[in-house]
Amino acid sequence: MSTSDNSNSSIVQDSLPTAAVKEIKRLIFLRTAEEKVFELEEDVAMESDTLKKVFQENDVPPETILSFPYVQSWQMEKVIEYCTKKLELKKKGADDGEKEMKAFQAEFIQDVSATRIVQLLHVANQFEIEYFLNFLFESLAEKAKNTSVDTLFSDVIDDPRRDNSVLFGKF
C-alpha cells in the first residue's frame, strides 16, 4: 500500500506545471536623490559589496528601501544596467560572455563624457563594485589619451552652477 502512495505522489509531482516549481526572486529597493525608487533582483544587488554587507551582515529586511541621497537616477540606471549585463554574461560562460561583454562595454561607454565617468566612479566606489570601478577607470584613461586635463574636465571646473560635490563626494 505504501508503494502505491509513493507512485501516486510522484505522478502528482511530475504533473505539476514548471511555473509552479519556479524559484521566487527577492527584490531589493533603492531610492535616489530625486526620490525615485528602483527595484532590482537580489542577485543583481548582491554584485555590490555595500548592499551585500547591509542585507547579509546587518540582517536588514529586503523590503526596506535604502536611500542613496548622493546618487542621481541616471547613475543608478547605469549601475543596474551594467551589473545586470555582467551577471547575465557571467552565467553564459567564459568565451561567449567575454566577447559579448566587450561589445556591451563599448556601446555602454560610447557617448559618456569624462565628467559622467567620474560621477559614475563615485557611485561605483560607494556601492563597492570592483569590476565596474575597473571598467570606468580604464574608460577614463582611454578618453584621457591625447587630451589635456583642462580640456577633459573644463565643463566641470568652469561651470559655477554645477555642484561638484556630486563628483568628489560630500564628507
pLDDT tens digits along 42-86: 999 999 999 998 888 887 777 889 999 999 999 999 999 999 999
* Residue bearing cell 551594467: 82
CA 119 – CA 147 distance, rounded (Å): 19
DSSP state, residue 24: P
Q: Indicate the pLDDT class of residue 13, thresholds 50, 70 and 90.
A: very low
Which of 84-88, 99-103, 167-171 is least confident? 167-171
CA 106 – CA 139 distance, rounded (Å): 9
For residue 156, the surrounding DSSP H or E stretch is helix 149-157
Q: Indicate the pLDDT class of residue 12, thresholds 50, 70 and 90.
A: very low
Q: Give the pLDDT of residue 68.
A: 93
User: Contact, 107 vs 139, CB < 8 A?
Assistant: no
Kindly report the pTM of this predicted structure. 0.72
Average pLDDT, whole number, for the chain?
Answer: 78
